Chains A and B, each alone.
Chain A
């Protein structure tokens, strides 16, 4: 017996079976699933033309479509303004009420998370590759292209190949100054950028269970860098508590079967693990941060932002280190909260003032410097310490520019000293 009968299902298999109305699925099987939530950001503008070419007139369920603009907010180029305009017009014409426009804006994944748009058991798709982040709700959440999104808007369905699942089982306790970001970097160092291509990654074990929802978002977010279709944490009491007041749709929580069949299991023990850093030019080029710090890597820019790490918890953590300190001379430090809600919280808690007094630039919420097309762009010989998720050549501007990925605490420590610094030295 190979696949098929008698073995249990992983969480992704359970969710995909449910979405297709089947009792059982096997890896490799092509299914057509009902979509619970469809999210579009600026790339959704490219959905409008194929939607019309398909002959579609109505969106299958306007209550399950969210539009959030985030890459260029407010529009920083004429091209971006046109994308926003196309989306506004489409939303008005098709009667799509859940539009997070300039003023209510935030990074699309954060908008989905903090407004309870994705709930346990869901099949969610979005026009951005980091849609994987929402897997932290115990859902299958995957990025798709805009033509595919047009088909989803028309049909409410999507074809998917059932992925094999890799289990990443984490145990041990994260030490002081060591964060979920360090953990996911460590995992990436092992799985590598192609290690989970076409696959689902299920994060399990006591350490994962001990993480807060924001920390789980950070972990699932960077599953994208492993090449995965989706990454997820099974729902538990923390998930239900997080969603209790905000869930937009009824939950249908699922768990992996006890005898689920994983393609591979990876064990990670975090006891004694130091902070980690991904060096240029790949997110899997991961080294212990103290080792890199000994090489006195000088930086020109620091960035505390992106869907990976710009939640209120991240900014508070950074602020705790920033308090009473100054941004190092010659360093530009950009802080960009992940949503307008988080921006308001920062305002209330005095964090905007704290960072501004220290010499940082505190921006409105957006993708900001993360992708090299909006602001905070790097010149060829420059180096940046960033809490974001990608450091490919050209990611933040010039293709020669170097990006080091690290935790928010490490970014702040580095901004203060002007060179890559172990945040534990600052505490």
Chain B
């Protein structure tokens, strides 16, 4: 995890649920490279073809509500999204993103801070999000250590791997 994440933003409204991120008809697809072609098909149809690695997704309240499908953050990660910023997240979406090592940051008022295409800067430890075009910024509450550690390690897979090695239950690679 980088301490400062910069990228161009895409903006979404509130209550973008998992069906609008990856619709039910793609649930049998498990290859992230294939999934990324269908991301936001309902919520933001121009996204999949035009997103660039490092782009940042900004949403209003309740991002990722609905199902537990990990397809949603996986597709966003595969397309190269650098961070998801939202006024608030649905809980499984939040966990899934962090477990995949994809920074998910909850910051009240973040949606109103940006317009489509604005450059954003996120300072993870300082807890600050800035719209580089307007110069305006907002704070966000500190991310708990446990989660920062997870992001730092690159996600849950790496974290558990280290733990299993330490406990002698897995062989070092």
Contacts and interface: CB of A to CB of B under 8 A. Distances in A.
Interface in B124-173: 144, 146, 155-157, 159-161, 163-165, 169-171, 173
B92 A143 contact: yes
A227 B91 contact: yes
Contact of B164 (A46, A56, A148): A56
A46 to B, nearest CB: 6
A78 B163 CA distance: 37
B84 to A, nearest CB: 15
B28 A82 contact: yes
B19 interface: yes
A154 interface: yes
Interface stretch (A211-219, A338-346, A393-401, A415-423): A393-401
B42 interface: yes
Interface in B19-51: 19-20, 23-25, 27-30, 42
A145 B95 contact: yes
Interface size class of A (residues with CB under 8 A): 35 or more
Contact of A56 (B29, B92, B170): B170
A54 B61 contact: no
Given A79-B28, A145-B99, A194-B88, A227 B160 contact: no
A260 interface: no
A394 B146 contact: no
A147 B157 contact: yes
A390 B91 contact: no
B107 to A, nearest CB: 15
A148 B170 CA distance: 18
A71 B160 CA distance: 29
19 contacts: A43-B68, A50-B157, A54-B161, A55-B161, A128-B68, A144-B92, A145-B95, A146-B70, A147-B155, A151-B156, A159-B146, A161-B144, A227-B65, A371-B24, A371-B27, A392-B66, A394-B24, A394-B42, A399-B42
Interface of A: 30, 42-43, 45-46, 50, 53-58, 71-72, 77-80, 82-83, 127-129, 143-148, 150-151, 154-155, 159, 161, 193-194, 197-198, 227, 229, 282, 371-373, 390, 392-395, 399
Interface of B: 15, 17, 19-20, 23-25, 27-30, 42, 61-62, 65-70, 73, 88-92, 95-96, 99-100, 144, 146, 155-157, 159-161, 163-165, 169-171, 173
Given A57-B170, A151-B159, A394-B23, 18 more contacts: A30-B146, A53-B157, A58-B169, A143-B92, A145-B99, A147-B155, A148-B95, A148-B96, A150-B157, A151-B160, A154-B160, A159-B146, A227-B62, A227-B65, A227-B91, A372-B24, A393-B42, A394-B24
